[in-house]
Chain A
Amino acid sequence: MLIGLFNYWIVIILMMIGLYIVIAHGNLIKKIIGLTIFQTSVFIFYISIAKVDGGTAPILADGITQYSNPLPHVLILTAIVVGIATTALGLSLVVRIKETYHSIEEEEIQQQDNEEQQSKNKAEESA
């Protein structure tokens, strides 16, 4: 009986792999790739719920009565565009971060910020 839900479970695992990459990895590019996987998996979920057994692509043709649901397709077309927009902006931030911090590893950037903060605090104390 649960076999009807099996597809969804795989999709959920995919989403979680994406989310895991975003949270666990420190490389800024890899984080963005994780984000892409997370989002793409959500798209896969939407498209899965649109499927009707025995249906065809929602382009009207003679002799076909059963179509898959077109609405999720429309939503996901929009969402894909939103996704690439986010990726592009994220990557341009990575480029700028690389230019100013000379690193794209989360830890190293955080460390540089902390050091800067500490030296500023010290300067203030002595003043």
Chain B
Amino acid sequence: MITHLPILQVIVPLMSAPICLLLNRAKLVWLFSLLASGLAFVISILLLQQVMISGVISYELGGWQAPWGIEYRIDKLNAFLLLIISGISTVVLVAAQTSIEKEIPKDKHTYFYVLYLLSLTGMLGIVATGDAFNVFVFLEISSLSAYALIAMGQKRQALWASYQYLIMGTIGATFILIAIGLMYQMTGTLNMQDLSHRLPEVAQTRTVFVSFAFLIVGVCLKLAMFPLHLWLPNAYAYAPSIVTAFFAATATKVAVYLLIRFTFSIFGFSFSFATIPLQTLFMALGLIGIFIASATAIYQNNVKHIFAYSSIAQIGYMIVGFSLSTAAGLTATLLHMFNHALMKGAIFLALAAVIYRIGNVELNNLRGLGRQMPLTMAAIVTGGLSLIGVPLTVGFVSKWYLLTALVEQGWWPVAVLILLGSMLAVIYVWRIVEVAYFKAPLDENIKVKEAPVSFLIPIWTLVIANIYFGIDTRLSVQVAQGAAQSLFGVSP
């Protein structure tokens, strides 16, 4: 079975989805999903181990040799991503049953888990595959399930947010489809490995240039990169809390992965950055994104909105690292993907717990919650500190690597701007701390209890991971560095 790990990674959650539909007993379905997701997590650990020891794994689906058949190709980069996605998914699922009991009507619970697993399948499939068209198919699995999951939110705004996301997402996916068609037309292949060999021959054609442009725009729509981010805040804010926690920690990472995969592995680093002024463009957009999104976050009154805008800002940091087009910059981006998943996972799960207890996360209603739900609020604060980049948290590690990468290339002014951007994070995090710890509760008579254990376990797992990987950086840095260097063709 060990040789089949790449496909099992995707097939396990995929097959579990229809089985869940057949089981159709809320508790049972939850346990089963948890089991499937946990199994996927174990598989991803084994895969990462295998890749770190013996290098790239190729798996030919249907026994057909690539490029005629579809190939799964696992290297350090996607093994790392598989680990993040399946890990977060499992942790989030632990709290799912308690949370959706309050937020989703009973008769929809089974559908919720089916869609959740499908969404997980889609993301894992996008990351694992080595075939450009297969990316599109799994992208649609993850998107369609995402639209439906977001629409399950309690308020009617969830429907509208989901609709807008559907329109934007489909335009993005169709752009990617056009780009794949153009690439295919110029090279005659859909296999990524094969594409990377055949594209250089036609790299000078206008068709390939246009294909690249469409790909970038399509992926950036999915990525919610500034200025294509408008769908994200409402989608995150109105989705059921569990869905927000899962997506905020994983979905945008998958899009960043696609960006890296296409620019570095397929089109090649020299084409992407030499032929096209991608560096300046992305650096500028990344920086503007950080400032505008952080500034908007400060003026929000709903805590979910605050952190949704903060997510857009964090994408900015990833983009800046990416735009450096050096191994160091890419390492920073990969590290930040991992770290951001930990921070946002913890924060949004904690918010789910708050919603479980008091029904909403309007900033004003959080008054005095620091004393009433100490463990939950402490988690949000730790996550916030991590977002700012305070030492001893993971946020510090990725900012540190990003700054070193910038300074290495002599981008001093950008480094200063990054630091200024972090100051904005201090403001929006402080607003929450102020309300929760320094204001009296609205009504002293209402006793709010601490979140149930089913929340506290996953939340604190992530919080401890936040601190642990902030101190002991060997593992995450080693993997991120290995992945980044292999993309530049340097053997670590």
Q: List 26 A-B contacts (CB under 8 A).
A: A15-B178, A22-B171, A31-B167, A35-B171, A39-B174, A42-B181, A45-B178, A78-B133, A79-B177, A85-B144, A86-B140, A86-B166, A89-B144, A89-B147, A89-B148, A93-B151, A93-B159, A93-B163, A94-B163, A96-B151, A96-B159, A97-B159, A97-B163, A121-B301, A124-B301, A124-B362
Pick from A22, A82, A109: contact of B140, CB below 8 A: A82
Within 8 Å of chain A (Cβ to Cβ): is B160?
yes
Interface size class of A (residues with CB under 8 A): 20 to 34
Q: Check A89 against B171 for contact (C-beta < 8 Å).
A: no
* Residue A90 CB within 8 A of the other chain: yes
A46 proximal to B (CB < 8 A): yes
State the Cβ distance, B339 to closest chain A Cβ, in Å.
Answer: 33
Contact A85 B156 (CB under 8 A): no
CB distance from B228 to the nearest CB of A (A): 13
B137 at interface (Cβ–Cβ under 8 A)? yes
Set of chain B residues within 8 Å of A100, measured between Cβ atoms: 156, 159
Q: How far apart sit A96 and B163, CA to CA, in the bound complex (Å)?
A: 10
Q: Contact residues of B with A, CB < 8 Å?
A: 133, 136-137, 140, 144, 147-148, 151, 156-157, 159-160, 162-163, 166-167, 170-171, 174, 177-178, 181, 184-185, 190, 301, 362, 364
Answer yes or no: A75 CB below 8 A from chain B CBs: yes
CB distance from A46 to the nearest CB of B (A): 5
Contacts of B160 in A (CB 8 A): 97, 101, 109, 113
CA distance A109 to B166 in the complex (A): 16
A49 part of interface (Cβ distance < 8 Å): yes
B170 touches A86 (CB 8 A): yes
Chain A 93-110, CB-CB to B under 8 Å as 1, else 0, gives 110110011000000010
Binding site for B on A (CB under 8 A): 15, 19, 22, 28, 31, 35, 38-39, 42, 45-46, 49, 71-72, 75, 78-79, 82, 85-86, 89-90, 93-94, 96-97, 100-101, 109, 113, 121, 124, 127
- Among B147, B177, B301, the one with the most A-chain Cβ atoms within 10 Å of its Cβ is B177
Cross-chain contact A45 with B156 (CB below 8 angstroms)? no
Cα A85 to Cα B190 with chains together (Å): 24
Is A127 touching B162 in the complex (CB atoms < 8 A)?
A: no
Taking the closest CB of chain A, its distance from the CB of B453, in whole angstroms, is: 33
Tell me whether B174 and A75 are in contact (CB under 8 A).
no
**Contact indicator A93/B181 (Cβ below 8 Å):** no
In the assembled complex, the Cα of A119 lies from the Cα of B486 at a distance in Å of 54
Is B185's CB under 8 angstroms from A90's CB?
A: no
CB pair B159–A85 under 8 Å, yes or no, is no
**Cβ-closest chain A residue relative to B134:** A78
The interface centre, meaning the residue of B133, B159, B185, B364 with most chain A CB atoms within 10 A of its CB, is B159
A79 to B139, CA, bound (A): 12
Min C-beta distance of A114 to chain B, whole Å: 11
Please state if A85 and B140 are interface contacts (CB–CB under 8 Å).
Answer: yes
Query: Is there an interface contact between B177 and A124, defined as CB atoms closer than 8 Å?
Result: no
Chain A residues whose C-beta falls within 8 Å of the C-beta of B148 in the assembled complex:
89
Residue of B nearest to A31 (CB): B167
Smallest CB separation, A55 vs chain B (Å): 16
Complexed CA–CA distance, A85 and B148 (Å):
12
A-chain residues with CB within 8 Å of residue B177 when the two chains form the complex: 42, 79
B185 with A49: CB separation less than 8 A: yes
| B178 in contact with A28 (CB, 8 Å) | no
> Please, which residues of chain B bring their CB within 8 A of the CB of A113?
157, 160
Contact status A35-B156, CB under 8 Å: no
Which one of A39, A85, A89, A109 has the highest number of Cβ atoms from chain B below 10 Å of its Cβ? A89
What's the minimum C-beta distance from B169 to chain A, rounded to whole angstroms?
9
Give bound CA distance, A78 to B362, whole Å: 44
- Contact between chains at A35 and B159 (CB < 8 Å): no
A82 touches B137 (CB 8 A): yes
Instruction: Contacts A31-B167, A78-B133, A113-B160 known; list 14 others, CB within 8 Å.
Output: A38-B171, A71-B190, A75-B133, A89-B144, A90-B167, A90-B170, A93-B147, A93-B151, A93-B163, A93-B166, A97-B163, A100-B159, A113-B157, A124-B362
Cα–Cα, bound, A34→B145 (Å): 22
Contact among A22, A72, A90, A124 with B163 in the assembled complex (CB-CB below 8 Å): A90
Docked Cα-Cα span, A35 to B157, in Å, equals 22
Inside 8 A of B159's CB, which chain A residues have their CB? 93, 96-97, 100
Closest 10 CB pairs of A and B: A100-B156, A93-B163, A82-B140, A96-B159, A49-B185, A97-B159, A90-B166, A46-B181, A86-B170, A35-B170
Contact assessment for B166 and A78 in the assembled complex, using a CB-CB cutoff below 8 Å: no
Give A76 Cβ to nearest chain B Cβ, in Å: 10
Bound-complex Cα distance A93 to B238 (A): 15
Chain B residues in 8 Å Cβ range of A78: 133, 137
| Complex: chain A residue closest to B180, CB-CB | A75
State in angstroms the CA–CA spacing of A31 and B171 once bound together: 11
A22 to B177, CA, bound (A): 17
Which B residues are in CB contact (< 8 Å) with A82?
Answer: 136-137, 140
Task: State whether A49 and B181 are in contact (beta carbons under 8 Å apart), knowing that A22-B171, A85-B144 are contacts in the complex.
Answer: yes
In the complex, A100→B161 CA distance in Å? 13
Q: What residues of B have a CB within 8 angstroms of the CB of A90 in the complex?
A: 163, 166-167, 170
> Which residues of chain A are near B178, meaning CB under 8 Å?
15, 42, 45
- Give the interface centre of A93, A96, A109, A113 by most chain B CB atoms within 10 Å: A93
Query: Cβ of A35: which chain B residues have Cβ within 8 Å of it?
Result: 167, 170-171
- In the complex, A26 Cα to B62 Cα: how many Å? 46
- Please measure, in the bound complex, the distance between the C-alpha atom of A101 and the C-alpha atom of B147, giving whole angstroms: 18
